[in-house]
Structure 1
């Protein structure tokens, strides 16, 4: 007697396996109350609970960002300043001076979180991140070129150079990784991004060592600081951030289908090439805006999606809105810590984010909590 196929012995048929994949992508018919992610089933109720918890955490960290600094303000006073501002009150004036910095942290954090989460879905690469794939390096090189050749000195002028640099870097990295029969595999994307970042770093150094003025302007921007931002700078990037965020938040179903492979995505009526191009537009808008406003900040877009997958699974319809809350919380917390570790001085948020993000990412990978894409 012939033995049954391995799938049948395990109680799994090709039909049920296909249905499981479609359910994980949020595309199967019937109730979508639960989605299988690894060995456990994660309910929408649990995801809603995490959504509420992250929203509450963001509000608390927002208030801490207004309260903590060289001069600490009690939280009740912060709330009072927000609800009934008194210009003659010194504590209220301190709170008001910190609002633009905190809002800048929100804008940069959500941009990096959404961009990183979407990049991992578009590239089907768990290591995809604006820094690792060279997008931030492209934006940085373009900004340095703007400073060196055109004397750019403000966020509004950095912005367009950052957009161009992000777009060119994304296209070049994907084109290089696509060479060969296997196409743009996750490993080839990571290698192409690393090579691109190294090459662009060399070009930046070549320009900066020949111009003291460019070096001075670049030095205050490239450390990834939120301090010293103006409302003019923040408002210059907000329209682009809104457009990019809307594009990416609405792409959750597309990213779920891409996770099943291009052939499956086409069979489900999606157009993978067009979907990737639209998502890439949103990523470029967010990466360029964040880099122009605060400089290159790493690890936020890499670590946050991995942490969220361990909590709520791999459904991008949930990962994207959750990253919109979690990433700015992480960046603002890094900024708050940077204000107090070296009083009366400060450590830029970008440096603190790297110090926190690197060991957290290593711990997540070593403990096997990284969910499948």
Structure 2
């Protein structure tokens, strides 16, 4: 673990450099390989008649930006949830928040024929909030949230909402392709016009995280300590939970179900930078975005010219890590 601020700053700069490298690879690699010279040419002198320039502007750029926003958001929301629940296995995917957002979004699209991006986003927020409330109710007890019960409740809620969404495949065959997109998880097929309405939510949630970083450090220790130091615990938890819902809901609305990123990244960053949220949260944003971009690039190349949904790639990475954490820690009801 790096303990000095100088070391942590240097590590974040390394993370930023890796993110830049992943972004360049995301722009260049795929079914059509594009040279670095072509990329530089497109930035300096865009030519709409050039096929490679069009691919960069219409497909690769939006795909890269979506992976950046979604990867950072899922990783940060996972760190927030682990702090709020004091549970190492907490993440939007494990506790069903992503599944709730996905089901409400699919239901709005198929049952009510909603197509406006903002309406779908608000549907995803409602689903994420509903799932979070259900998990808290089912996972709570006389002594508060139980680590084992909250994980079991999250898995049950996630399975329930995913099953409901799959049921819509039978009810509404016309929307089959779009539903499969949300179930599999993908950062492709969405333009920058889809991302732009979501940017205010990503930015607002990010600003909330920055403002709450110090309070979250106290909250991670104990409610009693934070209260004794004059912190308004309920307000901090509400704001942090709202940030989680915005980050997870917006991510699902544009990329579907991408699991395990919110679980594994906070642990990796915490091992390097420590538990201080002033360093943990930006580290999670950098590493989460980098990992999702890298997973997306691999998903394009592994069985080219076909693509594997990026949600499958993150599951392949995250499932062994989840099993490792579950075996390493003992949970009691």
Mapped pair 1:141 → 2:103:
yes
Instruction: Report which of the two has the higher share of helix.
Output: 2
- In the TM superposition, residue 147 of structure 1 has moved relative to its aligned partner by 2.3
Aligned-partner Cα distance in 2 for 1:83–1:347: 32
* Aligned equivalents of 1:333, 1:233: Cα separation in 2: 22
- Structure-1 residue corresponding to 2:120: 158
1:317 to 278, 283, 307: 278
Distance 2:135 2:321 in 1: 27
C-alpha displacement of 1:248:
1.7
Corresponding residue for residue 306 of structure 1? 267
Q: Which moved more, 1:121-130 or 1:211-220?
A: 211-220
2:62 pairs, out of 89, 94, 100, with: 100
Cross-structure match for 2:71 = 109
Q: Tell me the equivalent position of 1:49.
A: 10
Work out the CA distance in 1 between the residues paired with 2:151 and 2:321.
Answer: 20
Tell me how large the CA RMSD over aligned residues is: 2.0
Total equivalences in the alignment: 328
Change in 2 beyond 3 A, CA 1:149/1:365: closer
Aligned residue among 218, 233, 237 for 1:257: 218
Q: How does 1:1-373 map to 2 (within 5 A)?
A: 42-97=3-58, 98-153=60-115, 155-178=117-140, 180-362=141-323
Q: Distance in 1 between matches of 2:183 and 2:39?
A: 31
Considering Cα pairs closer than 8 Å and 6+ residues apart, tell me whether 1 or 2 has the greater RCO.
Answer: 2
Q: TM-score, normalised by structure 1?
A: 0.83
Deviation at 1:184, TM superposition (A): 1.0
Change (3 A) 1:203 1:41: closer
Taking structure 2 as the reference length, what is the TM-score of the superposition? 0.92
Give 3-state SS (helix, strand or coil) of 2:249's partner. Answer: helix
> Structure 2 vs 1, CA of residues 205 and 85 (structure 1 numbering), >3 Å: closer, same or farther?
closer
Question: Quick check: which has more Rg, 1 or 2?
Answer: 1
Unaligned runs of 5+ in 2: none
After TM superposition, give the deviation of residue 296 of structure 1 in Å: 1.2
Partners of 2:45 and 2:74 in 1: CA distance? 33
Displacement of 1:282: 0.7
Give deviations 1:6-61, integer Å, cap 9, x for gaps.
xxxxxxxxxxxxxxxxxxxxxxxxxxxxxxxxxx7711111111100000011111
Q: Which runs of 5+ in 1 are unaligned?
A: 1-39
